[in-house]
Amino acid sequence: MNKFYESSEIKRIVREFIIRNFAYGLNNSFHLRDDESLMDAGIIDSTGVIEIISFIESEFDVFIALDEVLPENIQSIESISQFIGKKLRKVAG
């Protein structure tokens, strides 16, 4: 059974993952905006997209279908968090 997450906790986990794995090279990476496009900012590339998907699946114990791997779902910390929230709500029924 999936653990329950508050939205704020999801965002915190996602932010930590992004900064730890991708944004460490930025000056003041902690100022990375939630709505900042990770691709446009040059923080993630195509391999990073796949790593994000793997992270979401393993961290939150959800399955992501191929047709869900869309820019709108993974382009920013905010959109990733919302995508995870939707997935978890769907699983919880």
Are 49 and 74 within 8 A, CB to CB? yes
Are 17 and 47 within 8 A, CB to CB? no
- 4/48 Cα distance (integer angstroms): 26
Residues lying near other proteins in the complex (CB under 8 A) are found at 20-22, 24-26, 39-40, 42-51, 53-54, 57-58, 66-67, 69-71, 75
| Residue among 7 and 42 whose Cβ is closer to other proteins | 42
| Residue among 7 and 61 whose Cβ is closer to other proteins | 61
| Residue among 8 and 47 whose Cβ is closer to other proteins | 47
